[in-house]
Chain A
Amino acid sequence: MTSKITNRIALSVIVLCALVMTATLAALLGYILYHGLSAISLSFLTKDSSSFQAGGGIKNQLWNSFYILFATMLFTVPLGLCGGIYLSEYAKPNKLTHFIRSCVEVLASLPSIVVGMFGLLIFVNYFGWQYSILSGALALTVFNLPVIVRVTEDALQSVPRELREGGLALGVTQWHTIKTIVVPAAFPGILTGIILSAGRVFGESAALLFTAGLSTPNLDFSNWNPMSMTSPLNPFRSAETLSVHIWQVNTAGITPDIQTIANGSSAVLVLCVLGFNLFARIVGKFIDRKLTGKA
């Protein structure tokens, strides 16, 4: 009898844990969206942020976030893809491979602020790029690389062996087999992983504090010359991203409407990240359907 009662109680506790978890998410999302959505308006999204007065927007921060995300992906995707291909297809089980795997693991578990400090030391000071989009993007490359490597390796590992054997049996070289058969077969998994990691990069802040900076110069959105200091495209200007902006406003903001700006920015940030997640799912399903030929 007692064991039955214990069973009941213990199982209810487990259910309670799951409920707490779900409730936490519901509360978090509910709080952000309830307080944030009312703060989002067209003018909030398209106005410059102000440092003293109320009513500032997040146009530049939003642009910076996407620009840094784009630059990071430009560096990470080829590197991560090749790293993943190496580990899955070329690596022999020896000490070097073991070492590379350890390196990927170390990179993945380093605190992002340590990556930021490294960026400060190397890109900002040593290479003299100052607080810039380029420094930020390179720091985020270090931060994001292990994720893409792992995603690619996992996706390639799940490709059936027969496909590779088929390619090699036709007398095609290994690289050609990988390029034309294995990678396309693993493509849905890789793409989904890349989009999900984009969400992570988009929300990252600690690695950007010391690399992309806390301020943005006045941007002129009609000036598209990438060398000009006021151009939004210039990779050598400092750039405060949306997530850094949320931190900055909350810790050092002096405008009267801090709460509104923080609410609105958080909501935009979370909506973007949710958008990435949703997009990854849709793309994954769409490609999967196309490849498997199900209607």
Chain B
Amino acid sequence: MENKSVVVQMPSSPNNEGRSLIQNNKKWTSIFNRNSEWRGKIWIYGSAIFVILSVIAITLFLTVQGLRSFVVDHINVIDFITGTEWYPDRAENPSYGALPFIFGSLMVTILAAMLAAPFAIGSALFMTELAPKWGQKVLQPVIEILVGIPSVVYGFIGLSVIVPFMRDHVGGSGFSLLSGALVVGVMILPTITSISADAVRAVSNDLRSASYALGATKWQTIYRVVLPAAKSTLITAIVLGMARAFGEALAVQMVIGNARNLPNAISDPSATLTTIITLSMGHSTAGSVLNDVLWSLGLILLIISYGFILLIRFISRRGQVS
């Protein structure tokens, strides 16, 4: 690259005498080098700024757009969050109650975590404490492939396997909160497993040796020593899985049944923040009240996502201190 600059610059250099030519070369090389350092820095700092800008832009634009329904359309915030009636298309007295969706989102998230966490931590313990070789050879690739399977495929399989199964054995239409939680639970299983495995692996071997030296069995060591030592990272793993479950849209939408009422049981059809946005956003015209309300739902989604991020930070910081 430096040679190139010399070739380009040589004809323009007024002096063609040998010695000054070398000096000239040196001069241009050093300028080019300084430029390259400079150009590199522009690229590097530019992309760092891009990352910051995109986060600020997402937060800012979604907030502004999401506040429209309260500021422009004068919907009461409290009514919006606590209302249970979602009839935006009713001609007279339309009502915008988002509680069923918020409730649905939280229920799917919690149920999915409850379903996935035991299996995930069990698998992580298997990979690290019982059979590290098998874990490396079999479970690691299994996790990687499970993570890679696109969410629509999970949704599609949920639709063609879990929904009919629920219809036959639990009753109802089969589209339900439980089906949604099952699909998302399987989706977050690999996420929780791989982080949990890292957490368990990070526990110092001295602790295990000490426990065995006291005559503890393997399970006693795991239960009394390894799990408590890895506790905060394990909780982080579960919360990360919950964050992913919370944000999942299409897979849930395909199996949850998209009812607008609060569900009475986990076998009832329901809806989440993501599913109602997915369903209605395409049909609503920009600037209409329904559209504004959907953006407000998006804002709630964003706020709760930030909540998850803060929660994860809080847990991991507390873990570092103790």
A residues adjacent to B (C-beta < 8 A): 3-4, 6-7, 10-11, 13-18, 20-22, 24-25, 28-29, 31-32, 78-83, 85-87, 89-91, 99-100, 103-107, 109-115, 117-118, 120-122, 125, 142, 145-146, 149, 173-176, 178-179, 196, 199-200, 202-206, 209-210, 214, 243-244, 246-247, 250-251, 259, 262, 266, 269-270, 273-274, 276-277
Binding stretch for chain A, among B79-87, B90-98, B305-313:
B305-313
Is B145's CB within 8 Å of the partner chain A?
yes
- CB–CB A105/B295 < 8 A: no
Evaluate contact between B156 and A262: CB separation under 8 angstroms: yes
- A21, A83, A200: the one contacting B48 at CB < 8 Å is A83
CB distance A85 to B149 under 8 Å?
no
Inter-chain contact B37/A176, CB cutoff 8 Å: yes
Taking a contact as CB atoms under 8 Å apart, the answer to whether A273 and B218 are in contact is no
Per the bound structure, the CA–CA distance linking A90 and B39 in Å amounts to: 14
Q: Tell me, in angstroms, the Cα distance from A265 to B214 when the chains sit together.
A: 57
Q: Is the interface of B mostly helix, strand, loop or mixed?
A: helix
Return B77 CB to nearest CB of chain A, in Å.
20
What residues of B have a CB within 8 angstroms of the CB of A251 in the complex?
253-254
Which of chain B's residues have a CB closer than 8 A to the CB of A277?
Answer: 144-145, 148
A111→B58 CA distance, assembly (Å):
12
Would you give the 0/1 interface string for B24-44, flagging 1 where the beta carbon is closer than 8 Å to chain A?
000000000110110111011
On chain B, the number of residues with a Cβ less than 8 Å from chain A's Cβ atoms is 89
Q: Does B274 contact A (CB under 8 A)?
A: yes
CA distance A89 to B48 in the complex (A): 12
- How many Å from the CB of B251 to the closest CB on chain A? 9
A86 to B49, CA, bound (A): 11
Interface residues of B in 263-314 (CB under 8 A from A): 274, 277-278, 281-282, 286, 295, 298, 301-302, 305-306, 308-309, 312
**With known contacts A210-B281, A274-B145, A16–B122 Cβ distance under 8 A:** yes
Are B278 and A270 touching (Cβ within 8 A)? no
Find out whether the CB atom of B47 lies under 8 angstroms from the CB atom of A82.
yes
| Chain A contact residues: helix, strand, loop or mixed | helix
| Contact status of A112 and B54, CB under 8 A, knowing A82-B44, A269-B150, A274-B148 | no
Q: Spot the interface stretch: B6-14, B164-172, B202-210, B240-248.
A: B240-248
CB atoms of B254 and A18 under 8 A apart = no
Partner of A118, one of B57, B149, B155, B286: B57
Contact B219 A7 (CB under 8 A): yes
Question: 14 interchain pairs (CB within 8 A)?
Answer: A10-B222, A17-B120, A82-B47, A86-B44, A111-B248, A113-B277, A113-B301, A114-B305, A117-B295, A125-B286, A142-B58, A200-B148, A209-B281, A274-B145
Bound Cα distance A250, B118 (Å)? 31
Most buried by A among B51, B145, B302: B51
**Given A82-B46, A111-B301: A122 and B55 within 8 A (CB)?**
no
Q: When each residue 204-244 of chain B gets 1 if its CB lies under 8 Å from chain A and 0 otherwise, what string results?
A: 00000000000001111011000000000000000010010
Please name all residues of chain B whose beta carbon is closer than 8 Å to the beta carbon of A276 when the two chains form the complex: 148
Distance (whole angstroms) from the CB of B181 to the closest CB of chain A = 15
B119 touches A113 (CB 8 A): no
* CB nearest neighbor in B for A173: B37
Given A174-B37, A247-B250, also A11-B130 (CB < 8 A): yes
- The reply on B193 being an interface residue by CB < 8 A is yes
Query: Which 3 residue pairs across A and B have the least CB separation, nearest first?
Result: A111-B247, A203-B150, A17-B122
Cα(A78)–Cα(B43), bound, Å:
9
Q: Of B156, B159, B217, which is within 8 A of A7 by CB?
A: B217
Q: Which of B46, B52, B189, B247 contacts A114 (CB 8 A)?
A: B247
Verify B142–A25 contact, CB threshold 8 A: yes
Nearest residue in B to A124 (C-beta to C-beta)? Answer: B286
